[in-house]
């Protein structure tokens, strides 16, 4: 699709994984823009508090306690959106989890649970949303990762799930386009984002995990998601650092593979694990957008903003060029 969808203040937006991190940032940003939001996660207490916060600020919201790894729970999210708001215009599949550990050491049970949440959660959300959006028009937005294009050592099954999400998303997009359905399908591929992601992950390591640099603010991902809700795009990488890594992987895959030891070390703090079980099999503590990354966090990505707003960026660069030319002429 090439045309724009409704403006945000006319949309109903469903967001899974809405109780923390990128999902929570997106929900707050959407509500401030006037969208009505349907919040979903496993954490009932956090969802109720977030709904109350949005409504206290004058917004409209509802919430559903759901495990996206269960199709019946995902259907209940759609049913609530129809019951409360008459339907939905954008469906954001954000819920996800990771495991830190060597592939050979992680249990089959934990690998299965990760795939049930990360991959099947996206599949169920997309397939529940698609029939409704075929009639109404709108957007399906799936959260992949730069790990959709490359493998991250010590997060092997997480990387595999994000590769699978990309394959599914591409196939769904092609089928909807073949039917000329009024539905856009976007894959968002963030780099490392300062959310509680490391603390929510299942951890098999003997040290507390962290995010590898460069790390970006969650609001930058939320901005990209809501941009795609209005202006359809095939894929959006969030973070110029992530774009550089995927470029290196494509151009020199052998060299990238040999950097595995460096990447592994960048994911470890000096301290022992805080909560090795994480939130893989139980709801996480919600209500927090940010994590506690110990290093620098970039609040915006010049690369991503340029990709989202190419005409504006081009005009700015042209203006810079004209100003520089005028300055050089005066000095001549």
Alpha carbons within 13 angstroms on the beta-carbon side of residue 164 total 16
Is residue 237 within a helix (H) or strand (E), and if so which, with residue range?
strand 235-238
Residue 169 and residue 149 in contact, taking contact as beta carbons nearer than 8 Å? no
Contacts of 276 (CB under 8 A, 6+ apart): 202, 203, 204
Cβ atoms of 251 and 209 within 8 Å: the answer is no
Q: What is the distance between the alpha carbons of residues 328 and 151, in angstroms, rounded to a whole number?
A: 47
- Cβ-contact 5, 229 below 8 angstroms: yes
The Cα 91–Cα 141 span in angstroms is: 6
Closest CA to 257 of 332, 152, 110, 130: 152
> Active site includes 100?
no
Give DSSP secondary structure letters for 186-231: EEEEE-EE-SSHHHHSEE-SSS-B-PPSSEE-HHHHHHHHHHHHHS
The whole-angstrom separation of Cα 101 and Cα 71 is 28
Residues 6+ apart with CB under 8 A from 181: 130, 133, 134
CB neighbours (10 Å) of residue 281? 12
Of the listed 158, 204, 216, 231, which one is catalytic?
A: 158
Provide the Cα torsion 155, 296, 41, 184; round to 10°: -80
Residue among 143, 181, 186 at smallest CA distance from 165: 143
Structure tokens at 282: 């139980």
Evaluate whether 186 touches 140 at the Cβ level (below 8 Å).
Answer: yes
Q: Which residues are catalytic?
A: 158
């Amino acid at each position: 699709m090439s045309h724009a969808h409704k403006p945000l203040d006319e949309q109903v937006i469903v967001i899974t994984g809405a109780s923390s991190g990128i999902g929570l940032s997106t929900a707050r940003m959407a509500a401030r823009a006037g969208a009505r939001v349907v919040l979903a996660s496993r954490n009932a207490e956090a969802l109720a508090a977030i709904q109350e916060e949005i409504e206290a600020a004058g917004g409209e919201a509802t919430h559903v306690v759901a495990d996206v790894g269960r199709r019946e729970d995902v259907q209940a999210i759609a049913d609530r959106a129809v019951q409360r708001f008459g339907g939905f215009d954008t469906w954001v599949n954000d819920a996800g989890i990771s495991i830190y550990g060597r592939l050979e050491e992680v249990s089959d049970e934990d690998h299965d649970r990760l795939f049930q949440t990360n991959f099947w959660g996206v599949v169920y959300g997309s397939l529940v949303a698609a029939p409704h959006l075929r009639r109404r028009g709108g957007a399906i937005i799936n959260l992949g990762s730069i790990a959709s294009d490359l493998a991250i050592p010590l997060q092997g099954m997480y990387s595999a799930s994000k590769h699978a999400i990309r394959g599914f998303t591409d196939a769904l997009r092609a089928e909807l386009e073949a039917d000329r359905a009024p539905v856009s399908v976007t894959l968002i591929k963030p780099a490392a984002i300062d959310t509680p992601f490391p603390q929510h992950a299942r951890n098999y390591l003997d040290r507390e995990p962290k995010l590898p640099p460069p790390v970006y603010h969650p609001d930058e991902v939320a901005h990209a998601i809501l941009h795609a809700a209005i202006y359809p795009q095939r894929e959006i990488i969030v973070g110029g650092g992530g774009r550089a890594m995927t470029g290196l992987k494509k151009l020199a895959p052998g060299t990238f593979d040999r950097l595995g030891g460096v990447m592994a070390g960048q994911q470890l703090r000096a301290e022992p694990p805080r909560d090795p079980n994480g939130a893989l099999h139980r709801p996480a503590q919600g209500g927090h957008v940010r994590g506690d990354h110990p290093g620098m966090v970039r609040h915006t990505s010049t690369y991503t903003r340029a990709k989202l707003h190419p005409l504006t960026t081009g005009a700015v660069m042209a203006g810079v060029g004209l100003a520089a030319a005028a300055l050089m002429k005066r000095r001549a």
